[in-house]
Amino acid sequence: MQDLAIIILNYNSFDDTSREVSKLLDEGCIEKSIYIVDNNSDDKDRITQFSLQNKINYIISNKNGGYAYGNNLAIRQAISDGKKYFLLLNPDIDISISSIEGLYNDLQNQPEVGVIGPRICYRNNSGKIYSDGGLLFPERGFMGGHVNFNIDTSEVQMPSYNYNIDYVDGSAIMFRKEVLDDIGFMNERFFMYYEESEWCLRVKQKSNWKLAVNTTILAFNTYSDKGSFYEYYMTRNRFWLCRMYNGNIKFVKKERWKLAKNAFKNKQYSLAKAYFKGIYNGLYSKL
């Protein structure tokens, strides 16, 4: 896997990032395959020291430009280093080097597949599925979902490869350089949430590459509570997807407006503001 770049985006998550990298190095991962990007967080000095000590690549951004911006920085650096395959990992993901090798081999053996990911389960409940691939529902304002979400693995019978998906979850997504050549990089304007969804929509609509999830390969994430920050970007970016890909704007507007009014009624003013602001910017900001 000399031509694979493993990219981890850090934002005030040094403990998770260092844990993830240390585990991969302990399992024999090549140091120069790893790229850490710090999105101008309080951790940047620790990231620099950790990276130098472990002889891995690191990029310290001078701004927090969001998920796509940080990952794109590393992808461009990796391309200049001669890398042809890219694995984006969230810091909280737990994945073995053998699982990474499995995904890499899938891309070698299936030339029609451009983007692939693992089955994602929960770190605190490894027998429960988080995602066997992402789903999007344009008729419902691009509401998202996951195949087999919150179902026990013992209750699921799936083929080894699930191609019936709309996107591969951005917390663990591997792809080949040719996909970037064909459709470009992820859209940095989204900042957070739906970047990989929009990118995968482009893959499906503007190229012949297939998306897939290998359900025999496992990765594990940590579920965290969502707040105003999350709801703002989820609201705004769903409107953006509707405007870009002819989704049902009326549906998402009605749904988000109801959530905003309920939050205001319950005196959750920060949350209500996030919904209202997300609706306005989603409808009226330039794409």
Do β-strands 85-89 and 57-60 pair in parallel, antiparallel, or remain unpaired?
A: unpaired
Q: Mean pLDDT throughout 234-262?
A: 97
Percent of the chain beyond pLDDT 90?
A: 97
Model confidence at 224, pLDDT cuts 50, 70, 90, reads confident
Look at residue 20 and tell me whether its pLDDT is greater than 80: yes
Residue 90 pLDDT: 95
Q: For residues 41-62, give the mean pLDDT.
A: 96
Decide if pLDDT at 11 tops 90. yes
Type of residue at 206: K
SS3 of the chain: helix, strand, coil, percent, to 5: 45, 25, 30
Distance of alpha carbon 97 from alpha carbon 95, whole angstroms: 7
Residue 185 near residue 72, CB atoms below 8 Å = yes
Q: For residue 8, give the nearest of 52, 64, 73 by alpha carbon.
A: 73
Query: Residue range 18-25: average pLDDT?
Result: 96
Q: Which residues have CB under 8 Å from 254's CB, separation 6+?
A: none
Backbone angles phi, psi at 8, to 5 degrees: -125, 125
Q: Is the pLDDT score of 225 beyond 90?
A: no
> What is the Cα 254 distance to its own chain's centre?
27
- Residue 222: per-residue pLDDT: 87
Question: What local confidence, expressed as pLDDT, does residue 223 receive?
Answer: 77
Per-residue pLDDT of 182-215, as tens digits, reads 999 999 999 999 999 999 999 999 999 999 999 9
59 residue type, one letter: I
pLDDT at 191: 93
User: Looking at residue 199, what is its pLDDT?
Assistant: 97
What is the pTM for the complete model shown? 0.95
Work out the pLDDT band at 108, boundaries 50, 70, 90.
Answer: very high
CA distance 221 to 94: 6
Grade residue 272 by pLDDT with cuts at 50, 70 and 90: very high
Per-residue pLDDT, averaged over 47-55, amounts to: 97
Token readout for 64 is 């927090």
Please determine, for residue 13, whether its predicted confidence score (pLDDT) is greater than 90: yes
Q: What is the share, in percent, of the chain residues with pLDDT greater than 70? A: 100
What is the rounded distance in angstroms from the CA atom of residue 189 to the CA atom of residue 228?
Answer: 19
